[in-house]
Structure 1
Amino acid sequence: MKIFKHSALLIILFLFSSFQLVAQEKVEPIFVNGEAQVVPEFNNPDEWIRHDLWVETTFDTDGDGKLDRMHVAVTRPPQTENGLKLPVVYESSPYYAGVAPNVDGLFWDVHHELGEEAKPRTQVEVKRIGKRPIISNSQIKTWVPRGYIVVHSSSPGTGLSDGAPTVGGDNESLAPKAVIDWLNGRAKGYTERDGNEEVEAYWSTGKVGMTGTSYNGTIPLAAATTGVEGLEAIIPIAPNTSYYHYYRSNGLVRSPGGYLGEDIDVLYDFIHSGGEDLILNKNYIKDSKDSKKFIRKRDYNNAKIRDTEMKNGMDRITGDYNEFWAGRDYLNDMEPMKAALLMSHGFNDWNVMPEHSYRIYKAASDKGLPTQIYYHQFGHGGPPPISMMNRWFTHYLHGVDNGVENDAKAWIVREDDNMKEPTAYKDYPNPDAKDVTLHLNAGGNAIGKLSVEKNKKQGSEILVDNANISGNDLAQAKNSKNRLLYVTPELKEDIHISGLASISITLASSKPAANLSVWLVSLPWNTEGKPKITDNIITRGWADPQNHKSLTESEPLSPGKFYSLKFDLQPDDQVIKKGQQIGLMIFSSDSQFTLLPEPGTELTIDLDKTSLTLPIVGGEDALRKATE
């Protein structure tokens, strides 16, 4: 009798386990109104399967004679262990394993004359952090409960990934490609960095979406430019799409906002958390006190990438666009791209400026790729609303026909609106925006006029460079010899600017080199309380007059000789309220962004050959109506 009861109990347990297994296998993603919903069975973190591995790439960049392997971490619902296959949301980063401390002298000294060498900067090292198998917890709580697998990887030369950081080099595109290839069964994964036991992604459908912010947003674009099969959609948030545009502007050596003196080699030091193991020193000389038989991969990378490739290519003297920078400009690599693109950026991001997203969005649209762009009015970062991202991934990764490809192409968060409530437009720039040319009228050391009519014989006006005075102070000054300011009449109606403002300027310099900075401002300047980020500065731009002919070729200016150049300001979409005036401010050194030479350089502006072009919704009629 006891034997029978024991057998019956085993049968019951077996049937119950079988029922649980079948029930678990039947759990699938749920979609409502075209969006993946949180599935309770996927939403228990204690049950998530988390493991790491190394994916073999097609390159060797750290000098050990072996193909580099990328450290990859996986987080997936338990149901994927019982036959359920799901698409992947993938984020890669150079930051996961820690960054270098911001010590004195890490950034380049910007206090020197243009064209002169800066004093050497301090080089620092990263102390790697993190423990296996967790690389990062980003994206997981958002996407795993909605029926996705989340994958993270450390980019080359960071964390436990092999290789060297190149800050935009080819290996930073090929590394995520290898991970996507592994997710599709085309590359090999291993349980250990140096092991031979293989790991397969049997739980992956092969469809991958990538996202991330800043550098983490650059990598999805880098992967997409390889044309890798399986990367269906990307959502880059405030991505750096060209390291030239990040560290230079129209030939000018210009820092990203908030990081005065940063350059590409500084960022290299900042992220280089890998390469702690040893390799044979190819330059080893027996019996030499100055030579070691073995060196760290980190030292090999420093010598090869930072101290040779970057040192020889970055050119802080002329600021010219060259092969080094062209190789780190993803606009040049767009041809193979097939992934659907949803971009996100802030119009007041003065770190990774909004042009970075605009230029790629435009190129992808011209290629006929599915594209949408989401712009908000704040600073660095800021993803689209989760519903937008959800619809994008639901359609392109799960294959749900939710009509997202027919949604509006542009979504703009208006100045006083919640970021979750953007306004839909047919495209960006607003298709109803038309270029309006405004001309300068004398009086800029006080306040000159901007007008649609061109009044002849306005002559020339002079400003004197002084980097000790901030742009904010210059814009508020009633009179200043250090800037020229030209404004429209007070607006009687709101004016909607959408797109790229540009300036055509003819100038002469008293010295062979000079900074040129241009701000578009909204006046009167608001100083009450804590001004909103959309107050005061509309957009900005910088250029090197030495590059008046070409970005790839500069020449010393002949003092007193006039040169003409034209360049765009940063893209914007902003409504300037009635009661304000739109002002064009021209000055030389920008204390927040440029090199800072000694005061005294004079710039003479030919007013008759200088003009501002504004993209205004409604065109010239709208501007006249608002100002007459």
Structure 2
Amino acid sequence: MKLNQFGRVTVSFDQQCQELTAIGFNVTLDQPLAAVASAAYAKLFPEALSNTAKAQALAAVAATAKLDLGAWLATKPTTISREIFYAVALQLLGFEPLTDYPLDDALGFMAKTQLPVVDDAIESAADFYAALYLLLCTRTKHLVNYLDDLANRGFYQDFQAGKAKPEYLFFNGKAQAVFDARHLRREVVWVESDLDTDEDGKRDMLEVTIFRPAATDHGVKMPVLFTANPYFHGTNDVDWITHKPDPTLAVKTHSHTRADVTAKVPAPTDLPHQPVNGESTTAEVYGDENGIYMFNDFMLPRGFVTVYSGGVGTRGSDGVRSTGGQSETDSAVAVIEWLTGQRKAFTNRTDGIEIKAWWSNGKVAMTGKSYLGTLSIAAATSGVAGLKTVISESAISSWYDYYRENGLVVAPGGFQGEDADVLAVDTFSRQKQTGDYLKIKPTWDRALAQITADQDRQTGDYSAWWDERNYRNHLQDIRCDVVIEHGLNDWNVKPANAIRFWNGLRDLPINKKLFLHQGQHTYLDNIRSLDFADQLNLWLSYELLGVDNNAPATLPNVTVQDNVTPETWHTYEDFGAPASDHEVKPLNLAADFKAPRASFADNATSIFTAAHSNSDEFEADIIKPDSRYNDARLWLGLPAFGTAVTLEGVPHLKLRLWIDQPTAILSVRLVDVGDALRFTPVASAVDPAGWQLGYDFKTASILEFKPEKQPSASKLVSFGHVNVQNQHNAYENVPVVPGQPFTVEFDLQPTHLNLPASRHLALIIHGADMAQTQRTEAVVNFHVDLAQSELLLPLRTK
């Protein structure tokens, strides 16, 4: 087990003493060591409510092989050795001697687990307080740091007692859980937008659900974690609209210019405002649905209000869905504007009773994964005032990169047949309120039909419709700081969405951080080997509460999980950027690779159909060294480098080829080859319900990425697809003449891969991708000029 920790701040001893005093320790440097230690240890069992109970708790901890902690303290030691201090500390951190580590080798286990220790024996009260401060900041077996673990057991339950006005508390630069998450105000209000997506001549009203600590009723103004969540009120059946992979690929007859595919911003509609007939500080509707994002719940007791809104077309709101369109961005922005005092909201939809976010301190962060994180990016590109930071996890930065690729229709994560219209239906939760739905159905049917037409499954080309949904067009308007988290094996929202976003932020005068893990489409908050939630607490305390904790400099710019050594995370200044620690290695497909042939016939669809296969099985089969698809692909083996290397960045492929048809799907896969126990892309539970999100509050499972139980022969590293008619970009089309050579270039998905000396790479070239593209039935013969084709492989050299 390794517990990596990047969110711990180094502070002076004077500040340590001040913070220890603030959380209830009686810091007296002139007292004997034994007295100081006895008093401090007694406070570390907040669940023990009497002296007898505390004595029993001390007796349950071993200090030596012969003495428990209580008995050892009774000897009134004048010196505490590092061995004894950390034998006790590990038990306080949740580890078990005899099971997790030998009692007499605490220091060895601390080093193995990467937990910090003091350098010398503890010989004075000052030494003890310095060691105690470090221990309180140290990670436990249960994901959180030790002070958070104490808080979960009631350490702060009396902190607000006797205070005329509740207060925040900060320790090591982070907000502490001093607000009782069991006592929340759960409210629903309606924000007035500038939209009229249901075309009824009235401004769309947006339902917003609020969870705020009761302390806000007593004068505490809090920042807001806002999650724009189209799934918040449920989803709909989509089987009836899900598309079947097309058996044919259209021969394109029309090309486009950049001007053709540039989105036109419509003029704003001047709509009448809802009349204000009064004002209230009390909501009329109780928020009966629970929050769905564990990190938001983790921050609630730390004094962060949580707000959810589904946006236009979701249950309780007006309007229709647009799958990433400008209306969904505007929906999120409208909520932020209300939270920061720039827009009106009402206690119900009709009476005109205005309600302000009087409990908000005017600072907002957006959080969420997938579609939720996507809308965070969208709102950030608006430059809206008051949005201080976004934390986008597994998020889309361009919807074209989600549903299309280089002139092809592609399926996210192998979910064949999903498209923008399918997702629109899925999230149109107004349908769940039948009385409302029947009124809006004709308008919704028209809007849905327009999405189906505009998404264009016929050509797969980039268009003005997709351009509207490309948030990277507006990166220059971002004013807030950004955190990006993404899985390097996320084939749903593919890594290009994150890395192209990161590259676009590089020169902006904002703070930005990038986290990349070895998983698929998942959160990072509850992965045991990384202190992600603790880092975000440091970040948000800085961004939203103005704590001078140096978070932008303390947190690494780029944090990447290793793919070979378990529970190992690397930190870098940047990712994949041209610099002295990177190089691009050109590899000629004839000279540098080994290939038995240069031609193949793409009959993958018939093989797939005959095997009664599915997308997951195809993904596994196509990368095997010996596969049922051997004849329907080229396998180009790259000899081992002779030493370990690290790929980092965007592989780029240039192919010279000819085919015997006027169009084709061309797919490539870069594969890590060699028997090895690789990580599973789905993290496993190592402690179900082990992450406690607050005192007497919710829990979540703690997860970790674990090695496979059986060795695998190969693993997908990166891939790419292109319509051979889109040889220059995703909107210009070049006629392909059967038998005549042409050149096509395209990027593969970004990657970070440590490749041991014992393993090597292979490049697979094939046609239709049964998991990702249309399943074309026409057999296309491919002939690749290997000598005039090359792979540009990005490598990290330091």
Counterpart check, 1:201 vs 2:357? yes
Which letter does structure 2 place at the counterpart of 1:603? F
Farther-moved stretch of structure 1 (139-148 vs 508-517)? 139-148
Identify the residue that residue 298 of structure 1 maps to in structure 2.
Answer: 441
Cα separation, 2, equivalents of 1:238 and 1:84: 33
Cα separation, 1, equivalents of 2:602 and 2:714: 27
Q: Shift of residue 363 of structure 1?
A: 1.1
Identify the residue that residue 58 of structure 1 maps to in structure 2.
Answer: 194
Counterpart check, 1:578 vs 2:720? no
Identify the residue that residue 558 of structure 1 maps to in structure 2.
Answer: 737
Which letter does structure 1 place at the counterpart of 2:220? L
Identify the residue that residue 86 of structure 1 maps to in structure 2.
Answer: 222
Q: Shift of residue 530 of structure 1?
A: 4.9
Which letter does structure 1 place at the counterpart of 2:338? W
Kindly indicate whether the alpha-carbon contact (under 8 Å) linking 1:25 and 1:84 is maintained by their aligned counterparts in 2. Answer: no
Kindly indicate whether the alpha-carbon contact (under 8 Å) linking 1:441 and 1:486 is maintained by their aligned counterparts in 2. Answer: no
Which letter does structure 2 place at the counterpart of 1:95? Y
Change (3 A) 1:439 1:399: same
Q: 2:231 aligns with which of 95, 112, 132?
A: 95
Per-residue deviation, residues 302-321 of structure 1 (Å, max 9, x unmatched)? 21x2202x233211121111
Counterpart check, 1:435 vs 2:584? yes
Cα separation, 1, equivalents of 2:505 and 2:797: 27
Which letter does structure 2 place at the counterpart of 1:490? A
Q: Shift of residue 526 of structure 1?
A: 5.8
Cα separation, 1, equivalents of 2:712 and 2:309: 34
Change (3 A) 1:23 1:57: farther
Identify the residue that residue 657 of structure 2 maps to in structure 1.
Answer: 507
Which letter does structure 2 place at the counterpart of 1:371? K
2:623 is paired with a residue of what secondary structure? helix
After the TM superposition, list the runs of 4 or more consecutive aligned residues in structure 1 that deviate by more than 4 angstroms: 275-279, 416-419, 525-535
**After superposition, where does 1:280-359 map in structure 2 within 5 Å?**
296-303=439-446, 305-308=447-450, 310-359=451-500
Counterpart check, 1:616 vs 2:795? yes
* Structure 2 alignment gaps of length 5 or more: 1-158, 253-284, 526-531, 609-617, 679-707
Which letter does structure 2 place at the counterpart of 1:354? P
Kindly indicate whether the alpha-carbon contact (under 8 Å) linking 2:370 and 2:395 is maintained by their aligned counterparts in 1. Answer: yes
Cα separation, 2, equivalents of 1:347 and 1:483: 25
Cα separation, 1, equivalents of 2:403 and 2:199: 28
Cα separation, 1, equivalents of 2:185 and 2:377: 28
Q: Shift of residue 211 of structure 1?
A: 0.5
Q: Shift of residue 368 of structure 1?
A: 2.3
Task: Tell me the matched-pair count.
Answer: 556
Cα separation, 2, equivalents of 1:88 and 1:360: 24
Kindly indicate whether the alpha-carbon contact (under 8 Å) linking 1:464 and 1:602 is maintained by their aligned counterparts in 2. Answer: yes
Identify the residue that residue 542 of structure 2 maps to in structure 1.
Answer: 395
Identify the residue that residue 241 of structure 2 maps to in structure 1.
Answer: 106
Identify the residue that residue 602 of structure 1 maps to in structure 2.
Answer: 781
Counterpart check, 1:475 vs 2:610? no
Cα separation, 2, equivalents of 1:64 and 1:525: 62
Per-residue deviation, residues 151-192 of structure 1 (Å, max 9, x unmatched)? 111221011111111111111111111111111211111111
Which letter does structure 2 place at the counterpart of 1:33? N
1:29 is paired with a residue of what secondary structure? coil
Which letter does structure 1 place at the counterpart of 2:248? E
Identify the residue that residue 310 of structure 2 maps to in structure 1.
Answer: 154
Cα separation, 1, equivalents of 2:350 and 2:784: 63
Cα separation, 2, equivalents of 1:533 and 1:388: 34
Q: Shift of residue 567 of structure 1?
A: 0.9
Cα separation, 2, equivalents of 1:543 and 1:92: 33
Farther-moved stretch of structure 1 (27-36 vs 512-521)? 27-36
Kindly indicate whether the alpha-carbon contact (under 8 Å) linking 2:655 and 2:744 is maintained by their aligned counterparts in 1. Answer: yes
Cα separation, 2, equivalents of 1:376 and 1:108: 32
1:172 is paired with a residue of what secondary structure? helix
**Structural RMSD (CA):** 2.7
Kindly indicate whether the alpha-carbon contact (under 8 Å) linking 1:378 and 1:533 is maintained by their aligned counterparts in 2. Answer: no
Identify the residue that residue 381 of structure 1 maps to in structure 2.
Answer: 522
Change (3 A) 1:371 1:173: same
Identify the residue that residue 509 of structure 2 maps to in structure 1.
Answer: 368
Change (3 A) 1:516 1:98: same
Per-residue deviation, residues 286-316 of structure 1 (Å, max 9, x unmatched)? xxxxxxxx9621331221x2202x2332111
Identify the residue that residue 411 of structure 1 maps to in structure 2.
Answer: 559
1:217 is paired with a residue of what secondary structure? helix
Counterpart check, 1:219 vs 2:355? no
Cα separation, 2, equivalents of 1:527 and 1:234: 36
2:725 is paired with a residue of what secondary structure? helix
Cα separation, 1, equivalents of 2:223 and 2:305: 6
Kindly indicate whether the alpha-carbon contact (under 8 Å) linking 1:466 and 1:599 is maintained by their aligned counterparts in 2. Answer: no
Cα separation, 2, equivalents of 1:325 and 1:208: 28
Per-residue deviation, residues 366-424 of structure 1 (Å, max 9, x unmatched)? 222211100001100223510121121111111112112123210101125666x6321
Cα separation, 2, equivalents of 1:534 and 1:365: 37
Cα separation, 1, equivalents of 2:777 and 2:677: 29
Q: 1:138 aligns with which of 267, 283, 292?
A: 292
Identify the residue that residue 422 of structure 1 maps to in structure 2.
Answer: 569
Which letter does structure 2 place at the counterpart of 1:617? R
Which letter does structure 2 place at the counterpart of 1:177? V
Identify the residue that residue 8 of structure 1 maps to in structure 2.
Answer: none
Change (3 A) 1:240 1:136: farther
1:476 is paired with a residue of what secondary structure? coil
Kindly indicate whether the alpha-carbon contact (under 8 Å) linking 2:674 and 2:713 is maintained by their aligned counterparts in 1. Answer: no
Could you state the TM-score of these two structures normalised by the residue count of structure 2? 0.66
1:391 is paired with a residue of what secondary structure? helix
Which letter does structure 1 place at the counterpart of 2:638? T
| Identity between Structure 1 and Structure 2 (%) | 30
Kindly indicate whether the alpha-carbon contact (under 8 Å) linking 2:238 and 2:425 is maintained by their aligned counterparts in 1. Answer: no
Q: Shift of residue 21 of structure 1?
A: 9.9
1:185 is paired with a residue of what secondary structure? coil
Cα separation, 2, equivalents of 1:210 and 1:408: 21
Kindly indicate whether the alpha-carbon contact (under 8 Å) linking 1:461 and 1:607 is maintained by their aligned counterparts in 2. Answer: no
Cα separation, 2, equivalents of 1:463 and 1:442: 23
Change (3 A) 1:49 1:403: same
Identify the residue that residue 176 of structure 2 maps to in structure 1.
Answer: 37
Kindly indicate whether the alpha-carbon contact (under 8 Å) linking 1:180 and 1:231 is maintained by their aligned counterparts in 2. Answer: yes
1:274 is paired with a residue of what secondary structure? helix
Kindly indicate whether the alpha-carbon contact (under 8 Å) linking 2:591 and 2:787 is maintained by their aligned counterparts in 1. Answer: no
Cα separation, 2, equivalents of 1:25 and 1:149: 21
Identify the residue that residue 715 of structure 2 maps to in structure 1.
Answer: 536
Cα separation, 2, equivalents of 1:471 and 1:154: 34
Q: Shift of residue 443 of structure 1?
A: 12
Which letter does structure 2 place at the counterpart of 1:439? N
Q: Shift of residue 54 of structure 1?
A: 0.4
Q: 1:495 aligns with which of 634, 645, 661?
A: 645
Q: Shift of residue 136 of structure 1?
A: 3.9
Q: Shift of residue 146 of structure 1?
A: 0.7
Counterpart check, 1:179 vs 2:328? no
Q: Shift of residue 198 of structure 1?
A: 0.9
1:296 is paired with a residue of what secondary structure? helix
